[in-house]
Chain A
Amino acid sequence: MTKYKESIMKAIFFAAACTSILAVALICLFLFINGIPAMAKIGIFDFLLGTTWKPNNTPPSFGILPMILGSIYVTAGAAVIGVPIGILTAVFMARYCPKRLYRILKPAINLLAGIPSIVYGFFGLVVIVPFIRDTFGGTGSSMLTASILLGIMILPTIAGVSESAIRAVPQSYYEGGLALGASHERSIFFVMLPAAKSGIMAAVVLGIGRAIGETMAVIMVAGNQARMPAGLLKGVRTLTANIIIEMGYAAELHREALIATAVVLFVFILIINLLLSLLKRRTG
């Protein structure tokens, strides 16, 4: 009887463990089955490299290059803002911060990571958009606004992961640096940071993954015009925004083209994941 129960439960545990495999398989299956035919119908090059997205025209044109570029630009902008600040904050947390202050700062950064994206989006809408509008003119909803907001959003990810990477560097590296006459800063920046390189890279890649997949915050501040990105202060539309804005009323080929947009996004994410696991293997 007990033996019986043991093997049944083992089977249940095994089945549960396979759920994540099943989930990934289902997600791939449903996205690709619904998205690939649309790509074929539109033509893979017309779809990926087409510069106009006018699904309601006759004949409609489904080119998502504007959105691909939009996603890449906004993410790059976010990285330019978020990566240096994030890494420097991580340096402070790992090497400067007194223990007492750490007990306050660490939860604060965790909190920054926990704030829902919709709240970030709202904050961007009521604070950053008017600020950009008043400072640089235009509508305020722009690539720059989205980059700043996303830069803030990826800060805690980059700071947190980089911090543990810096902490994983043996203390002897730092002491060796000091012994050779380097200052505190020089030991950290020229001895410890290079040693923590792959961990910090992993943090950056993780942050980029978050930025490229972010949806709700971006659509509230980016302007969402479906045309080729025209400048830092002009509105852009990202891949994620394209999906969520039009999915509500899209039908037939338009709908399928949106799913194909998600496929493109998914492929981006898979590439990022692959990079991440390569980096992790190097750290491990």
Chain B
Amino acid sequence: MRFSFFLREALGSIRRNWVMTMAAVITVFISTAILGAVLVTDRNLDRGATSLKNRVTIEVFIKDEAGPEGQQALEQKIAAMPEVKSFTYISKDDALERFKERYGDRIVDNLPINPLPASFEIQVNDADQVEVVAQRFFDDPNVDNDKGTTNGVQYAQATVRKMLGTINLVEKVMWVVTGVFGVAAVMLISTTVRLSIFARRREIEIMRLVGATNWFIRWPFVLEGFMTGLVGAVLAALAVWGSNWTIFNWIKSTDLDYLSIEIYPLWLQAGTWPLGMLFTLALLGAVLGSVGSIFAMRRYLRV
């Protein structure tokens, strides 16, 4: 088909109906900006959750009486566990050093002996495995348990796991909210397009009377929707990315920097979804715009 004719038709129509076009652009802008914001938030929550999970460590304290044999036995036991990602041995001296760092030299200097036990710090692959792994040391004779307790094994308790659960839930809720917003966006866009097409239904009727095929009539409208959606979405992507960037830099400059948020890539990214913010939203906006036009035109194109 003759693309240039359709393009001229679409551009002419955008120019003539610029108020309607603005309305559509704003609609697309708002809808896709919401999605963009969700993408950024989700990415950072994910990151937060991952770093929390990484901090889920099990500390196993070794009895002083266990000696090097006991330490080796424990080390072999830990190394054999498939759930364990990594582990470090902290000697009595290391422990004392740490203690010094945290509480200062004065207390330590006054101690006649080093009361701190040696220990293993164990990272597991999955936060859910913490409990299971920890339990295996409860009855170990080399572990520094007080009689009748399991206080020789320290690990992240319910709080951390609850936090992780909360993040998980928040993520799920956000996707549901995105879904709802997505449906609302489709409806908003199709209403906007339908209004603009309703205003031109006589034109469509005339086109049909002079023998235009449905696709001949449709193409300019689809192109118009495509361009409208694209413009709205690109503006939204830039706005979201810009806010993301500003917040990132602001947080870095304050003492909130432990939050360590991330900037969503603008162009491309690694991972299963290769498109960055700009391309993701642009694609979405363009599809929303063109499909919205096709849907809105359906009833005027029945022969």
Q: Are the chains A and B members of one assembly?
A: no
- A interface list, Cβ under 8 A from B: none
